[in-house]
Amino acid sequence: MMLLRRFEIHQPSNVAEAVQMLGHFGEDASLYAGGTELLLAMKHDVLRYKHLIDVKVIPGLDSIELYDGMIRIGATATHRSIERSAPLRSRLPVFTNMESLVANVRVRNTGTLGGNLCFAEPHSDPATLLLVLGASVAAEGPQGRREIPMDDFFTGAYETCLGRNEVLTGIHIPLSTRRWRPAYVKFQVHERPMLGLALALETTDDGETFCGARVAVGCVSPCARRAAAAEGLLTGPRSQVERNLPLAAEALADAAELIDDQQGSAEYKRHLIQVFLRRAFLKALGQN
Ligand SMILES: Cc1cc2nc3c(=O)[nH]c(=O)nc-3n(C[C@H](O)[C@H](O)[C@H](O)COP(=O)(O)OP(=O)(O)OC[C@H]3O[C@@H](n4cnc5c(N)ncnc54)[C@H](O)[C@@H]3O)c2cc1C
């Protein structure tokens, strides 16, 4: 039988207090939001903490706001509240659609976007999409606040660049006024996705040329990755980009450093990237 060891829950009234508590309790403490990952790991005795600092009670840390061409999602906003946010759905449907497919409704009701990113489990949907949306995250720690581009946030499986006493406070997504067409596609057989692929194409007025491209693949390796070589192949006249899709998929697979795991072999994942890049391309152009 799996049993949780005894722990104490602390409820800070603001982020500064949470940072202080982390410093005070040191290695015996962890931040705690929805608990969907943390409590499971503690039940399995993979992680042991005597003190959990509940960031979900911090007022305002779960807000979703649109301002100055930017969406700001508070770290403790749940997947469900993001999925159901009407302003977010109208301005960035690719994100609310992705959120509506995360896990199941029980996990989405409790699990937070901040917890998803900070746990850095390799099979994360939001991580991959946020990379191509040009997002950044805000963190607060003993040295003050800082903004971290998503490209720099993940350092490996279950690893981020956050310091031990830093709290993630929000996720910032620019609302591009340019003609970016984003798409997110995923493939899932078991509890977590086997592949997530995000693409954003910047089109000219007539839609016949792509003057910019961002592409990332996740769930197939320790952390989601963009691939500059693939992005180059996805830029140019539409007909040429369409012909380049197999080469771009190869470049994306090369950059991803694919691994064999329980979800499938590296070779199989390479094949999936071929299939799903084409699907994402058609989806970005509204053709499926
Ligand atoms: C059955 C199941 C299926 C799932 N399927 C999917 C899926 O299909 N796609 C997907 O993307 N994800 C999936 N997940 C993962 C899910 O999205 C995460 O479990 C959830 O978002 C984690 O959030 P949480 O608030 O529960 O984090 P917690 O468990 O509370 O915390 C996780 C970690 O993040 C740290 N943390 C939390 N908040 C902060 C903060 N503000 N600042 C710094 N550190 C913080 C904690 O210290 C802890 O280490 C699944 C999970 C389960 C259990």
76 CA to centre of ligand 1 in angstroms: 10
Q: Is residue 20 part of a domain?
A: yes
- Residue 264 makes CB contacts below 8 A (sequence gap 6+) with 194, 272
- Residue 25 makes CB contacts below 8 A (sequence gap 6+) with 50, 51, 53
Among 174, 194, 220, which residue terminates a domain?
A: 174
- Residue 106 makes CB contacts below 8 A (sequence gap 6+) with none
Q: Is residue 2 part of a domain?
A: no
186-239 tens-digit pLDDT: 999 989 999 999 999 999 988 899 999 999 999 999 999 999 999 999 999 999
The pLDDT, as a whole number, for residue 231 is 98
131-146 tens-digit pLDDT: 999 999 999 999 999 9
Confirm whether pTM is higher than 0.95: yes
Query: Burial, 102: exposed, middle or buried (Cβ in 10 Å; 0-12, 13-18, 19+)?
Result: buried
* pLDDT at residue 108 is higher than 70: yes
| Rounded mean pLDDT, 109-126 | 98
- 3-state SS of the chain is CCCCCCCEEECCCCHHHHHHHHHHHHHHEEEECCCCCHHHHHHCCCCCCCEEEEHHHCCCCCCEEEECCEEEEECCCEHHHHHCCHHHHHHCHHHHHHHHCCCCHHHHHHCEHHHHHHHCCCCCHHHHHHHHCCCEEEEEECCEEEEEEHHHHEEECCEECCCCCCEEEEEEEECCCCCEEEEEEEECCCCCCCEEEEEEEEECCCCCEEEEEEEEEECCCCCCEECHHHHHHCCEEHHHHHHHHHHHHHHHHHHHCCCCECCECHHHHHHHHHHHHHHHHHHHCCCC
User: Percentage of the chain with pLDDT > 70?
Assistant: 99
Q: Is residue 3 part of a domain?
A: no
Q: Is residue 161 part of a domain?
A: yes
- On whether both 184 and 279 belong to a single domain, the answer is yes
- On whether both 238 and 188 belong to a single domain, the answer is yes
Instruction: Let me know: does 88 contact 64? Beta carbons within 8 Å.
Output: yes
Tally the domains of the chain: 3
Among 174, 194, 210, which residue terminates a domain?
A: 174
Distance CA 143, CA 72 (A): 22
Q: Is residue 1 part of a domain?
A: no
Question: Which domain CATH number covers 22?
Answer: 3.30.43.10
Among 37, 57, 77, which residue terminates a domain?
A: 57
- On whether both 137 and 94 belong to a single domain, the answer is yes
Q: Is residue 152 part of a domain?
A: yes
Question: Which domain CATH number covers 166?
Answer: 3.30.465.10
- On whether both 197 and 277 belong to a single domain, the answer is yes
- On whether both 77 and 25 belong to a single domain, the answer is no
Ligand 1 atom closest to Cα of residue 127: 11
Q: Is residue 96 part of a domain?
A: yes
- On whether both 149 and 251 belong to a single domain, the answer is no
**Residue of 72, 192, 194, 220 to mutate, ligand 1, most atoms within 8 A of C-beta:** 192
Q: How far apart are the first and last CA of the chain?
A: 47
Residue 250 lies in domain: 180-284
Ligand 1 atom closest to Cα of residue 38: 29
Question: What type of residue sits at position 233?
Answer: L
Question: Which domain CATH number covers 267?
Answer: 3.30.390.50
- On whether both 128 and 158 belong to a single domain, the answer is yes
Residues in contact with ligand 1 by the CB-under-6-Å rule are 30-38, 55, 75, 102-103, 107, 110-112, 114-116, 118-119, 124-126, 167-168, 191-193
